[in-house]
Chains A and B, each alone.
Chain A
Amino acid sequence: MFATISSKVSCIFWMILQVACLFGLSEIGTWISKVLHAPIPGSIWGLIILFLLLKFKIVKLEWVSSGGDWLIREMLLFFVPSSVGILSYGHLMLHQGIQIVVTIVTSTALVMVFTGAIAETIWKSRQRRKVKSRYAKEEASSC
């Protein structure tokens, strides 16, 4: 009983520590984007840095994975406070809200259909080619 509780506590402790490290990386990223005056926001710099650190085996996956996976799983929660900002545009939304929503919803649907259809078409043609080359190999070996 005591062992399970203590292992849970240490698990949470590590997770918080990992989240703090990721936070540090995003702060470093923000600093980089300030210094370089690049139009790329800090969090994207942080993402690139973490990816390179993982790729070159400077940071092990286990060092960041439990905290990182938790952050990704609960990402929707972090969007909530800024979404409530719709409230400050109540006036605009009351007058032109319907036009704005129709514009955005239609455009989003178009984007999703185009992007999905193109990716799916390329994927399918690749799949077909794979099957064909497998057949060709089998025929060659049976001859």
Chain B
Amino acid sequence: MMWVGLMMTVLFYWGCKKLYKKVRFVLLNPMITCLIAIIVVLLCTHMSYSTYFSRSKLLADMLNPATVALAIPLYRHFDVLKRHVAEFLLSLACGATVAVTSSVMLARVMHLNGNITLSVAPRSVTTPIAMDISQTLGGIPALTAVFVIITGLSGVILGPLIIRVCRIQSSVAKGTLFGMGCHGLGTARAFEIGQMEGTCASLSMVTAAFITLALAPVLVPLLGM
């Protein structure tokens, strides 16, 4: 019984990936289809989220070594990254500012209450750091984790569209856009485009996290929160 949650997740993921490879339709992204399939199964079998999570925790734990493994592409392409340091720092500093400011402003326009607004602010960075920033700001870390995932999903869908509409050609820009816009999920998506894009995305994800860590506690009070 212990292994059911884990096996189910792996099987659904595998199936959804196969489906996506065949159809190649953005809304059928394996992340989304897999998520919906699991939620449907949990609702049908009346299994609670905490039971499911405790049974599939091993997979969630693998996110840490996967983040560590990002050092490998970073090492492989380090010279390229050194050459484009201006692109990275400038675009990410602007990106992080836009992320925090627009999240807070839009949340206010949408009449979301204070706690939720504070939890939305750090949504653009990788989950563990976002939760940490949320704690510092006085938001709800668990809620931030959910917002981070929604950010990831929307970024994975929007990213390829934005690349096409804005006619973005360079691998560096494609990578930074994914890494800044939607953290780990975006990085995984960028690796589908190419090694260089993925590497730029992983570097951007790490850098964006550091920038937001320093920026958010200063910027959010300035926005009147």
Contact = CB atoms under 8 A, between A and B. Distances in A.
Interface stretch (A6-14, A59-67, A132-140): A59-67
A44 to B, nearest CB: 7
Contacts of B75: 51, 54-55, 61
B63 A78 contact: yes
Contacts of B56: 80-81
A115 B180 CA distance: 7
A89 B106 CA distance: 21
Contacts of A39: 129, 132, 136, 213
Interface residues of B, number: 103
A25 B72 CA distance: 13
A45 to B, nearest CB: 9
A30 B65 CA distance: 11
Contact of A81 (B9, B74, B111): B9
A85 B38 contact: no
Contacts, number: 300
Contacts of B86: 122, 126
Contacts of A80: 9, 13, 31, 34-35, 38, 56, 59
A72 B198 contact: yes
Given A77-B10, A82-B60, A100 B150 contact: yes
A79 B68 contact: no
B116 A84 contact: no
Interface of B: 5, 9-10, 13, 30-31, 34-35, 38-39, 42, 49-50, 52-53, 56-57, 59-76, 78, 84, 86-88, 90-92, 94-95, 98-99, 102-103, 106-107, 110-112, 116, 120, 123-124, 127-129, 132, 136, 142-143, 145-147, 149-155, 158-159, 162-163, 166, 168-170, 172-174, 176-178, 180-182, 184-185, 187-188, 191, 198, 204, 206, 209-210, 213
A87 B66 contact: no
Contacts of B99: 107, 111
B72 A103 contact: no
Main SS class of interface, A: helix
Contacts of B146: 85-86, 89
Contacts of B34: 80
B153 to A, nearest CB: 8
A47 B71 contact: yes
B103 A104 contact: yes
B83 to A, nearest CB: 9
B173 A119 contact: yes
A64 B69 CA distance: 8
Given A26-B64, A81-B53, 13 more contacts: A71-B62, A71-B65, A72-B188, A72-B198, A78-B59, A82-B145, A87-B42, A92-B143, A104-B120, A107-B124, A114-B94, A116-B174, A123-B84
B155 A108 contact: yes
A77 B62 CA distance: 9
Contacts of A113: 162, 166
Given A78-B60, A96-B112, A22 B91 contact: no
A11 B120 CA distance: 43
A1 interface: no
A77 B158 CA distance: 20
Nearest to B68: A46
Contacts of B13: 76-77, 80
